[in-house]
Amino acid sequence: MKIRNVEIAVLSDIHLGTYGCHAKEVLAYLDSINPKTLILNGDIIDIWQFSKKYWPKAHMEVINKILKIAENGTQVYYLTGNHDELLRKFSGFHMGNLHLDDKLVLTLGDKKAWFFHGDVFDVTMQHSKWLAKLGGKGYDLLIVLNRAINFLLVKLGKERISFSKKIKNSVKEAIKFISDFEKTATNLAIENNFDYVVCGHIHQPIIRECWNEKGSVVYLNSGDWVENLTCLEYDKEEWNLMHFSDLNLSIEKESKTLEIVNDPLFEILGKIRVA
């Protein structure tokens, strides 16, 4: 497999530790690139739904791959999201090439890029976190059900469907939420003279230029690795939205659940979640 050199790769909303996570696809993508900078823009490990009962081998391999990428010289920035918000108490920590922060500003040529997950703009997160957590569990269940139905559809020679996308595209409140999120992020970025604002959180991959009366900014969202399987790449002064389905990468067919009772990572995650 040919390894592609890229200046920056941005992934968000992987949700390791949930049934909806496509960890093997994440691993295949990470194996296919050699980035100078890797930005993990929130909700990488889903601490909200973390359980020792479910942690497939591929999920641990993603963690190991990220650590290996940092060890090999890539600057790796883990920016916290709402599902891994408990890591925010450690923001500012860094070890070698691995950095843990809540946000990041990079200078790309003569332009400034602002990276953050985006949950700070979510009213549900601010005022009804219990409802957001409940919604997260319901979303994971919906994805599992969707996978089962798509398995049957493929067997019958029919096209796959996405329940969550249909809901997002048909429910007015969902459409308004996405629009408000993007408007808030772009207005704030323009106000602070950024050229790019890069978010995750809403699982809606996109690159587009946005305007208001004060100026413009390029808004980017890396999507997710639950439904869309997308990420962002920056190379040769250009941003691209990458879809896993377009990359023709092979994935391992089998992935067993790890025995994790004595694994230090899970002891740490368990303590963080209870704290």
pLDDT confidence of residue 16 = 94
Binned at pLDDT 50, 70 and 90, residue 243 comes out as very high
Phi, psi of 111 (to 5 degrees): -120, 155
Mean pLDDT, residues 107-127 taken together: 79
For residue 207, give the nearest of 186, 227, 236 by alpha carbon. Answer: 186
**CB contact at 8 A, 90 and 275:** no
Q: How do residues 201-221 score in pLDDT, each as one tens digit?
A: 989 999 999 999 999 999 999
Mean pLDDT, residues 237-251 taken together: 95
Binned at pLDDT 50, 70 and 90, residue 132 comes out as very low
pLDDT confidence of residue 189 = 96
pLDDT confidence of residue 220 = 98
- Fold for 4-274, please state it: Purple Acid Phosphatase; chain A, domain 2 (3.60.21)
pLDDT confidence of residue 135 = 47
pLDDT confidence of residue 235 = 97
User: To the nearest whole number, what is the mean pLDDT of the chain?
Assistant: 82
Question: β-strand 111-116 against 103-108: which pairing, if any?
Answer: antiparallel
The domain limits of the chain are: 4-274
**CB contact at 8 A, 33 and 3:** yes
Q: How do residues 65-104 score in pLDDT, each as one tens digit?
A: 999 999 999 999 999 998 888 899 999 999 999 999 999 9
> Which helix (H) or strand (E) is 207 found in, with range?
strand 206-212
User: Is residue 128 scored above 70 in pLDDT?
Assistant: no
Q: For the chain, what percent of residues have pLDDT higher than 70?
A: 72
Distances in whole angstroms, Cα of residue 261 to Cα of each of 57, 69, 244, 258, 265: 14, 26, 33, 9, 10
Question: β-strand 33-41 against 75-79: which pairing, if any?
Answer: parallel
User: Is residue 120 scored above 60 in pLDDT?
Assistant: yes
pLDDT confidence of residue 260 = 44
CA separation for the pair 100, 103 (Å, rounded): 9
Binned at pLDDT 50, 70 and 90, residue 125 comes out as very low
Task: Pull the structure tokens for residue 174.
Answer: 């969902």
pLDDT confidence of residue 168 = 55
Give the other-Cβ count within 10 Å of 23's Cβ.
Answer: 24
Query: Max alpha carbon distance in the chain (Å)?
Result: 56
